[in-house]
Every structure is written in C-alpha cells, then in structure tokens.
Amino acid sequence: MNRQLFQYHPQIGYTFIPGLKTRVAHDGGGYLVQVNQAGFRSSREFQRQKPAGVFRILLFGDSFTAADGVSNIARYSDLLESQFTGIEVFNYGLSGTGTDQQYVIYRELAAGVECDLVVIAVLVENIRRVAARYRVYLDAEGNRIVYAKPYFCLESGHELVRYHDPVPKEPVPEDHLTPDELQHVDQGGNFAWFRQAVNTLGSRARDVAQRWSRYQPLPAYESAEHPDWILTKAILSQWISQCLSPVIVCPLPLYQHVEETCDPAAYQARFRELGTETGAVIHDPLPDYWQVPRDARRKFRFPNDIHPTPLSHQLLADSLMPCIQSFLHQRGR
C-alpha cells in the first residue's frame, strides 16, 4: 500500500487524496488512479441525491475493491456499471482497511447517500484487521511505521463501542506500545515465519508447501465462537440492520482459495450463517473462479502481487451480474 496516495482523515484514519490523478508504478505495468473530492477512486463525484430513473449501488471493500494494481475503468465496479443501462456504482473501496473501517466509512460518509442496493465486499482476510487496533506500514526506505486505526469492541456482551475516535494522526513508536497494545498490531497474518521461508523458494514450491502443511491462513473462521468472528459478525450485522436498502455481502476469497491450496469451507460456513441471521444476500464468487481450469487461475493475480488482475475483476463482475440483475428485476428494470 502506497501511503503517498492518502491523506489523514480523523474518523476513518485516511482516505485517498481528493482530486488526485496519477499513474502508479506497479508489478502489472502501472495503473491510473483518479480520485474524487470525497477521497475515493472515481471519475464522478458522489452526489447525495439519486437522479430519477437511476439504480444506484454503494460498494464497500478494501484494496481488492479499490483495486490496487488496476486502473479505475478496469475494476469490477466499473465493469458492472458498463454492463447495465441506468445504473451507477459508487465505489467506496479503500486500500488497507478492514470491515470495521469500511463500516465507519458507511456511517460517516455514505449513510445519507440515496441508493437502491448496498454491496459489502469482505476480503476474507479482513477478519484479522477487525481484531487489530494498529497497522504496520513500510516507508519508502522499508522502515516499519505503526499507525492507529479505528476499531470496535463488544462490551456488555453485545454492544459495539468505537475506539480511536478521532483516530490519532501521527505514527506511534512501536516501543511506546504496551504489551496489550502490541498484541493488537496487525503484523500481516499468522505463520509469518513460514511464509517468509517458503516465499524464497518461489510460487510453485510455496503452493506445494501449503498443501503439504495443510496451511490455513485464517483459523479464526474455524469456529463460530472465535472472538474475531464474533466481532466481525457483530459489525456486519449492525451495518446490515442500518441499511435502508437491500444488502449483498460478497466474501472475496484469497488466492489460496481460488487456486485450491487451502480449504474455504470454514469461512463459507460462517458467511452462510450470517446470511441466515441477518437476511442479507450472501454472494460467494468462489464457485465461479473454480469453473476456470486450475492451471489458468494463476492469471487472476499479478506475478509478484496478490491483488486481482483485470482478468479477475472481469470474472468477479460477471459473477455478481446475475445477483444484481435480480434486484433490477424487482424494481421492474
């Protein structure tokens, strides 16, 4: 995540720099970033009032939705918009965020925006970010920098309470954090030693090692009673309950799930439970990825970056299209 593209925001932590238009060097050859005045990647401003006859979708997510590595026009949000007449998609995706920060974006900036449908794209790895209170970034010289993020805790058994409100602006020296705070720094996932060792062997050896070790990158989904899932579910449930429009929750798989080097069954079960309890539509795109021959799925991520390629964005748009079409039919479109 290139922090030079962002500026401080007291409620969210940061947004893209409003009005920014630049080309970003990248593994895939570079990509164009255009930002509106609200601080999100879009060629249009996010107007509160919906034009007559327009079906508007509000989309939330992290860098897989903001689309690191991909120009605005090649993102699944923009591709969806191009497939239908009379719809607009407001992409509130923000790189580096978790579901908690995305909920804050909705509450602070989007709750009053007229819409017909809300889509929450949850990269399944975000369960780690929800449990974190700080996040590590690397500066241009590769030095670790720790920043605070907004976070929630469940108190009195069920009440979501927001902390870091406002979000501290300056980086936090890591040696100033208490032992408890250090436990809540997002370091980038479990088994860091395993990933670092295997990554030196290349992607093919890494895939073999992951299968051999029964590598599970997201153990928090294994139990419905895991504290990280309970918190994630509480945030999503409250968010869904506050939406005046229908909600689609779309769990986005990791490349390990797409390429079948780890088992997705646990997270799929948790999101099915969420749909049953909240009434939200759960759209799982993973079966559509699996329709592609396994040896061709490597093209869904970049050579040295796990973010989705334009090909992956196209597949995700195609996967979501029938689900969105059903809501259009309900509106007589």
Q: What is the pLDDT of residue 156?
A: 85
Res. 188: pLDDT tops 90: no
- Asked if 234 contacts 105 with a C-beta cutoff of 8 angstroms, the reply is no
Give how far Cα 135 sits from Cα of 10, 40, 65, 97, Å.
16, 20, 19, 10
Q: Could you tell me which residues are beta bridge partners of residue 32?
A: 23
Average confidence (pLDDT) over 230-249: 98
Average confidence (pLDDT) over 213-220: 77
Reported as a pLDDT band with limits 50, 70 and 90, residue 213 is: very low
Average confidence (pLDDT) over 267-292: 99
pLDDT digits (tens, 9 = 90+) for 82-92: 999 999 999 99
**Does residue 177 come out as left (phi exceeding 0), alpha (psi in the -120 to 50 range) or beta?**
beta
pLDDT digits (tens, 9 = 90+) for 46-65: 999 999 999 999 999 999 99
Reported as a pLDDT band with limits 50, 70 and 90, residue 158 is: confident
Burial class (CB in 10 A: 0-12, 13-18, 19+), 17: middle
Instruction: Examine residue 264 and say whether the peptide bond preceding it is cis (omega within 30 degrees of 0).
Output: no
The better pLDDT of the pair 27, 109 is held by: 109
Q: What is the pLDDT of residue 2?
A: 64
Q: How is residue 27 written in tokens?
A: 């593994």
The better pLDDT of the pair 275, 196 is held by: 275
Burial class (CB in 10 A: 0-12, 13-18, 19+), 188: exposed
Total domains present in the chain: 1
Share of the chain above pLDDT 90, in %: 82
Share of the chain above pLDDT 70, in %: 90
Q: Range of 116's domain?
A: 3-330
User: Taking the CB of residue 187, how many other CB atoms lie within 10 A of it?
Assistant: 13
Reported as a pLDDT band with limits 50, 70 and 90, residue 215 is: low
CA nearest neighbour of 284 among 237, 328, 248, 330 = 248
Go through 123-136 and write b for each residue having 16 or more CB atoms within 10 A of its CB, e for each that does not: bbbbbbbbbbbbbe
Average confidence (pLDDT) over 255-270: 97
- Report which residue type is found at 248: I
- Main-chain dihedrals φ then ψ at residue 56, nearest 5 degrees: -110, 135
Q: What is the pLDDT of residue 194?
A: 40
Strand 21-24 to strand 117-123: parallel, antiparallel, or no bridges (unpaired)?
unpaired
Q: How far apart are the first and last CA of the chain?
A: 39
- Asked if 28 contacts 69 with a C-beta cutoff of 8 angstroms, the reply is yes
List CB contacts of 24: < 8 A, sequence separation 6 or more: 2, 5, 30, 31, 32, 33
Average confidence (pLDDT) over 153-178: 93
Q: In angstroms, how far apart are the furthest CA atoms of the chain?
A: 59
CA distance 138 to 4: 11
Element (H, E) at 192: helix 192-199
CATH of the domain at 230: 3.40.50.1110
Task: Tell me the whole-structure pTM to 2 decimals.
Answer: 0.92
